[in-house]
Amino acid sequence: MKAYIIRRIIQLVFLFLSLIVILFFIFRMLPGNPAAMVLGPAMNPEAVEVQTRLFGLDKPQHVQFILYFKNLISGNFGTSFQYQQNVLDVLSDKFLNTVILMGIAFLITFIIGVVGGAYVAWGRHILLGDLLISFVLFLRSSPIFFSGMVLLTIFSYRLGWLPIGRMHTPGFYEESIFFTYFSLDFLEHLILPALTMVLYYLGNPFLVMRNSMMEIKGEDFIDIAKAKGISNTQLLFKHGVRNGLLPVVTMLSIMIAYTLAGQVVLETVFSWPGMGRELVIAVHNHDYPVAQGAFFLIGAFVIIANFLVDLLYAYLDPRVVYK
């Protein structure tokens, strides 16, 4: 296990290096001059040239990369072209907003999907199972922005029960970070975007868990446990769900990547001040440092999550041998 962890950490180092190289050069391939975008079309060429030197874009790309890499290693993501602030100051709150929204919705999706899929497969609820499968497939086939707009139309515009967007009501005073994320106002704004994510991604763990439990239900160790007189509830969760979780855990890393990708559209629909929405703005304005910082944080989150999912396998299945 220790040797495996060491090898995986070495792989993580190479993955991070590859991520840094790709992020640096892919934005340099985009057309347009960031200095001109910041100053606007009315500025004369001399002002654009001065701004280009201030941004360091007049240097050769290999020099820019060396400076970028040194700054990144030291925790300096650069200065935003658009906001003229440190990139970490621009992204820190937005990254936390995205992680909280995604984490809450992801946790609810995982719990409902696992429990629902296990319950449908374990019992004899054929009609209920068919209805739920049709329901989750319908939700999964609908674009996430469409589901979000339908929920907004029903619960915000028609019924007026929930806010139409953003993370707080205009004029909300943030007394502390705890009050920011645990106030009633925040929870009211969280419901619709979180519900949209849950409905869209629910089909993945539900269907995988159902199929896994259908196979496990006929295994010999289940019959032996039944013969010992173990209760059906204990049999379901202690013996069935734990073994059925393995395919779901495998899917977790893929779901995390897809969930982060879906944040861009979701945050735009609900005007959620998160990483995805800020990323769209940065790319549109050729704000290289902010866009690179956002992609790096998202990529790092996915890489580390995949690493943790691999380690989680050892806890769920002691038979796994790491080589």
Count: domains in the chain: 2
Q: Give me the pLDDT at residue 195, please.
A: 92
* Token pair of 19 as six digits: 């991520």
Q: Are residues 119 and 241 in the same domain?
A: yes
How much is the pTM?
Answer: 0.78
Does pLDDT of 124 surpass 70? no
Q: Are residues 61 and 99 in the same domain?
A: no
Indicate which CATH number applies to the domain containing 257: 1.10.3720.10
* Token pair of 113 as six digits: 């999907």
Does pLDDT of 14 surpass 80? yes
SS3 86: strand
pLDDT digits (tens, 9 = 90+) for 259-308: 776 678 888 888 888 888 888 888 777 777 888 888 888 888 888 888 88
Residue 1 CA: distances (Å) to CA of 66, 250, 311: 36, 19, 9
The answer to the question of residue 112 being in a domain is yes
Comparing 129 with 20, the larger pLDDT belongs to 20
The answer to the question of residue 79 being in a domain is no
Residue 4 CA: distances (Å) to CA of 18, 76, 115, 309: 21, 31, 32, 14
The answer to the question of residue 85 being in a domain is no
Domain holding 196, by residue range, is 93-316
Helix (H) or strand (E) holding 12: helix 2-28
Q: Are residues 188 and 233 in the same domain?
A: yes
**What mean pLDDT, rounded, does the chain reach?**
79
The answer to the question of residue 80 being in a domain is no
Q: Are residues 28 and 129 in the same domain?
A: no
Q: Are residues 64 and 97 in the same domain?
A: no
Does pLDDT of 1 surpass 80? no
Q: Are residues 69 and 97 in the same domain?
A: no
Q: Are residues 155 and 22 in the same domain?
A: no
- Residues 32-38 have a mean pLDDT of 60
- Residues 54-72 have a mean pLDDT of 77
Q: Give me the pLDDT at residue 146, please.
A: 87
- Last-in-domain residue among 14, 41, 73: 73
Q: Are residues 162 and 260 in the same domain?
A: yes
CA–CA separation, 203 and 293 (whole Å)? 32
Q: Are residues 118 and 68 in the same domain?
A: no
Q: Give me the pLDDT at residue 281, please.
A: 83
Does pLDDT of 47 surpass 70? no
SS3 79: strand
- Last-in-domain residue among 73, 108, 124: 73
pLDDT digits (tens, 9 = 90+) for 96-108: 888 888 888 888 9
- Last-in-domain residue among 43, 73, 103: 73
Q: Give me the pLDDT at residue 289, please.
A: 81
Q: Give me the pLDDT at residue 261, please.
A: 64
- Residues 72-91 have a mean pLDDT of 82
CB atoms within 10 A of CB 113: 25
Q: For residues 132, 101, 208 and 315, what is the CA-based torsion angle, rounded to 10 degrees?
A: -140
Q: Give me the pLDDT at residue 193, please.
A: 92
The answer to the question of residue 78 being in a domain is no
CA–CA separation, 131 and 184 (whole Å)? 34
Does pLDDT of 30 surpass 70? no
How would residue 192 be classed by pLDDT, with cut points 50, 70 and 90?
very high
Does pLDDT of 66 surpass 80? yes
- Angle formed at CA 15 by CA 10 and CA 18, multiple of 5 degrees: 130
Q: Are residues 7 and 134 in the same domain?
A: no
The amino acid that residue 244 corresponds to is G
CA–CA separation, 296 and 202 (whole Å)? 27
Task: Report the 3 state secondary structure along the chain.
Answer: CHHHHHHHHHHHHHHHHHHHHHHHHHHHCCCCCHHHHHHCCCCCHHHHHHHHHHHCCCCCHHHHHHHHHHHHHCCCCCECCCCCCEHHHHHHHHHHHHHHHHHHHHHHHHHHHHHHHHHHHHCCCHHHHHHHHHHHHHHHHCCHHHHHHHHHHHHHHHCCCCCCCCCCCCCCCCCCHHHHHHCHHHHHHHHHHHHHHHHHHCHHHHHHHHHHHHHHCCCHHHHHHHHCCCCHHHHHHHHHHHHHHHHHHHHHHHHHHHHHHHHHHHHHHCCCCCHHHHHHHHHHCCCHHHHHHHHHHHHHHHHHHHHHHHHHHHHHCCCCCCC
The answer to the question of residue 321 being in a domain is no
Nearest to 148 by CA among 207, 198, 100: 198
Does pLDDT of 42 surpass 70? no
Q: Are residues 48 and 188 in the same domain?
A: no
Q: Are residues 59 and 126 in the same domain?
A: no
Q: Which of 137-151, 154-168, 179-193, 257-271 has the lowest mean pLDDT?
A: 257-271
- Residues 56-79 have a mean pLDDT of 79
Longest dimension (CA), the chain: 85
Q: Which of 204-208, 304-308, 310-314 has the lowest mean pLDDT?
A: 310-314
* Token pair of 287 as six digits: 């704000």
**Roughly how many angstroms between the first and final C-alpha of the chain, as a whole number?**
8
CB 162 within 8 A of CB 188: yes
